[in-house]
């Protein structure tokens, strides 16, 4: 039955994005179905948002993204890809037009009161569009490209992280033996070669041949580099890690593009791959590995120092500012930092602190629902988006509830600051909380927790942080989230007749927030 449900979701989405003929690429990340489209104008955004399974839609550069949530997206994507293959030559245009007409009947009535979920969804969509326009700066476009290198690696990081946690739990229980050794091998294999995968994706993202980027990055993890001396010191296999791999593969893509423009076609198949591997390979050995290694070590030292000496303050600032960073698109700069910490230390101490922003958002939403007791439309939006928010998918709550309301977005940030400050305080006291993978947040992060005091203490500190985020986010929103006039306006009874489309539309004004 589950398979039929996922195929039905895929079948409902396909005509609304213009049919199979309009789909040029199908991939997915942690929560989103990512599509390449031939003609953006053939997409029916409103009808997509009206689908019960859709939590949001996001247009990010050349990628059209449909937020389905963790777990679901991994099951819907292959069904969607199969439908595209099956129906590519079967009159997709007709089906797209029929789907759009059918969905139009589900649209919210034009007379919906301004205090309803539809009005907030519209406001959230406008904010999303404005943010997307502001985010098309060279820096933010570059950060988005960097994020696109690491996002495809998240499923493997999650899977290997959970297996590593299970192995560690067995060791703590005194069950060390052949099974734990096998689990260690399974969980560590990917991390031992992660530089190769980063190199592959980097070359692909920067216009090179992916396998050549992977070949250059593989130099970093090759055991034989120990025989190479730089500045009088032998290199260490893995030195430079993912940052070195990123730099090496980006250089390889540049060299390859340079060769393609200048090398005669008759010898291109021999000369271009050779120079693409040789030149960046030597630069990697005699420069990048050393420099990237120093940067990686510096990141780890800085993160440890920050939380050890200024943990409460640092956690307060990071937890409070993460939602605005997401709004500005600057959170993408943290992805390679997380990955570097995981590679070098086994876990990232920053992610659990940043995850507190989602806890503040959940507390805020609960307060909104309680304060606006008569606003049936908005309360239904909160109820539909809250489970996803508890599991760390915050887009529906951000763009459907807190941000369009204005002041509650600020009080949600206050809740995140409180949770982050508490987790940071425990770091100062000697209990570090880290995550062995990036992507999940909220309650979904518990299986990936790691630290220096054992799983029980780590989970307890993280749980206390979540409770602090919930509580302070709730209290700040309940007490300061609305002035009297706004509260009176929004607390009008909008009735129970708000359509499912309206509720889904409010939840679907989502934008980029993946961590």
Q: Which residues contact 455 (CB under 8 A, 6 or more apart)?
A: 165, 168, 169, 172, 449
Catalytic one of 29, 160, 364, 413: 29
DSSP label at residue 60: E
Rounded distance, CA 144 to CA 135, Å?
A: 10
- Would you say 504 and 51 are in contact if contact means Cβ atoms under 8 Å apart? yes
348, two tokens: 């990232």
Cα distance from N-terminal residue to C-terminal residue, the chain: 31
SS3 38: coil
Beta-carbon contacts of 441 under 8 Å, excluding residues fewer than 6 positions away, are 351, 354, 355, 358, 391, 392, 393, 394, 515
For residue 126, what are the contacts with CB-CB under 8 A and spacing of at least 6? none
CA distance linking residue 342 with residue 145, whole number of Å: 21
Q: Are 515 and 354 in contact (CB under 8 A)?
A: yes
Integer Cα distance of 346 and 350 in angstroms:
13
Q: CA 32 → CA 39, 55, 64, distances in Å?
A: 20, 9, 9
Residue 492 in contact with residue 374, Cβ under 8 Å? yes
Residue whose token pair is 């941000």:
403
* Residue 259 annotated among the catalytic residues of the structure: no
- Cα–Cα distance between 461 and 444 in angstroms, integer? 15
CB 511 within 8 A of CB 131: yes
Least Cα distance to 392 among 327, 331, 434, 442 occurs for 442
Contacts of 474 (CB under 8 A, 6+ apart): 363, 364, 366, 367, 415
Decide if 477 contacts 382 (C-beta within 8 A).
Answer: no
**φ/ψ of residue 66, rounded to 5:** -115, 115
Residue 198 and residue 245 in contact, taking contact as beta carbons nearer than 8 Å:
yes
CA-CA distance, 260 to 267, in Å (whole number)? 11
DSSP 8-state assignment for residue 109:
P
**Alpha-carbon distance 271 to 8, whole Å?**
50
Tokens describing residue 130: 């404005």
Distance CA 258, CA 370 (A): 61
Q: How far apart are CA 8 and CA 389, in angstroms?
A: 25
Q: How far apart are CA 110 and CA 344, in angstroms?
A: 55
- Alpha-helix residue ranges (DSSP H) falling in 34-174: 45-50, 72-87, 92-104, 117-134, 138-150, 154-172
Which residues have a catalytic role annotated? Answer: 29
């Amino acid at each position: 039955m589950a398979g039929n449900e996922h195929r039905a979701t895929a079948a409902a989405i396909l005509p609304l994005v213009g049919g199979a003929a309009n789909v040029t690429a199908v991939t997915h990340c942690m929560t989103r179905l990512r599509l390449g489209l031939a003609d953006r104008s053939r997409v029916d955004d409103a009808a997509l948002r009206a689908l019960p399974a859709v939590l949001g839609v996001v247009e990010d550069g050349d990628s059209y993204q449909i937020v389905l949530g963790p777990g679901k997206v991994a099951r819907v994507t292959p069904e969607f890809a199969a439908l595209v293959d099956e129906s590519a030559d079967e009159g997709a245009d007709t089906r797209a037009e029929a789907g759009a007409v059918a969905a139009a009947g589900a649209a919210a009535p034009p007379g919906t009161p301004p205090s309803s979920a539809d009005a907030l969804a519209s406001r959230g969509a406008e904010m999303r569009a404005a943010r997307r326009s502001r985010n098309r700066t060279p820096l933010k476009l570059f950060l988005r490209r960097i994020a696109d290198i690491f996002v495809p690696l998240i499923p493997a990081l999650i899977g290997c992280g959970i297996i590593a946690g299970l192995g560690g739990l067995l060791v703590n229980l005194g069950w060390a033996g052949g099974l734990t050794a096998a689990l260690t091998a399974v969980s560590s294999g990917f991390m031992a070669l992660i530089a190769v995968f980063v190199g592959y994706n980097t070359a692909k993202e920067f216009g090179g041949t992916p396998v050549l980027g992977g070949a250059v990055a593989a130099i970093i993890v090759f055991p034989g580099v120990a025989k190479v001396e730089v500045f009088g010191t032998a290199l260490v296999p893995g030195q430079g890690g993912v940052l070195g791999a990123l730099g090496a593969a980006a250089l390889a893509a540049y060299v390859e593009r340079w060769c393609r423009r200048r090398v005669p076609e008759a010898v291109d198949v021999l000369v271009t791959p050779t120079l693409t591997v040789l030149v960046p390979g030597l630069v990697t050995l005699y420069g990048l590995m050393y420099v990237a290694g120093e940067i990686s070590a510096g990141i780890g030292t800085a993160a440890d120092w920050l939380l050890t000496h200024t943990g409460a303050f640092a956690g307060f600032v990071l937890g409070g500012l993460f939602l605005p960073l997401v709004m500005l698109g600057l959170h993408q700069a943290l992805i390679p930092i997380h990955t570097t910490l995981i590679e070098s230390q086994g876990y990232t101490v920053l992610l659990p602190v940043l995850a507190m922003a989602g806890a503040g958002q959940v507390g805020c939403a609960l307060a909104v629902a309680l304060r606006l007791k008569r606003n049936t439309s908005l309360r239904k939006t909160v109820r539909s988006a809250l489970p996803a928010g508890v599991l760390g998918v915050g887009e529906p709550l951000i763009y459907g509830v807190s941000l369009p309301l204005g002041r509650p977005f600020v009080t949600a940030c206050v809740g995140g600051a409180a949770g982050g400050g508490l987790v940071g305080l425990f770091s100062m006291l000697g209990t570090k909380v880290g995550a062995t993978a990036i992507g999940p947040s909220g309650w979904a992060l518990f299986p990936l927790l790691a630290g220096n005091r054992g799983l029980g203490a780590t989970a307890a500190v993280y749980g206390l942080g979540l409770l602090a985020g919930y509580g302070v986010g709730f209290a700040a929103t309940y007490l300061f989230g609305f002035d009297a006039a706004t509260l009176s306006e929004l607390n009008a009874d909008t009735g129970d007749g708000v359509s499912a489309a309206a509720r889904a539309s409010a939840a679907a004004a989502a934008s980029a927030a993946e961590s």
